[in-house]
Amino acid sequence: MKKIGIIICDRYHSCAGGKCLRAMRSRDGAFARYKDEEVELVGFTTCGGCPGGNVEHAPAEMKKNGAEVIHLATGLVVGYPPCPSIDAFSDFLPTKYGLDVVMGTHPIPENYYQTHQALGTWSSADWERRIAHVLTDEETRRAYD
């Protein structure tokens, strides 16, 4: 069983996690990687607000609960502007805690996809890499609107 933690953007601090949990259950988006294994959510928290102070200590509790991988929620890449610290989080977590990091949880909703396409937000190779696990087909994106 793969034990995971999820860190969401603090600007969505009141999010109930519905899209992330649905995607985890359905193995959509970044959770498709677990299609052949069971998963258990062992932690869910916000980054703590810019610049992400909660990322420094919250994963310790997740790791005590068995976390092997931390998913940086899709909200960190679809919010505007996208999280300016996402690469720092991706470097810090494996170094400090020995945890794997996956960018994304649920598929990018179509309305966010359209906005970021119009803005050209994700037109670089770096952004293509960051959103690769949550960039799905239009039908799936619409289902997550």
CATH of the domain at 50: 3.40.50
Domains held by the chain: number:
1
Please tell me the pTM assigned to this model.
Answer: 0.95
Domain holding 120, by residue range, is 2-143
- What does the alpha-carbon distance between residue 142 and residue 111 come to, in Å, rounded to a whole number? 8
Confidence of residue 94 (pLDDT cuts 50, 70, 90): very high
CA-angle at 7, arms to 45 and 73, nearest 5°: 130
Tens-digit pLDDT profile for residues 101-140: 999 999 999 999 999 999 999 999 999 999 999 999 999 9
29-80 pLDDT, tens per residue?
A: 999 999 999 999 999 999 999 999 999 999 999 999 999 999 999 999 999 9
pLDDT at 120: 95
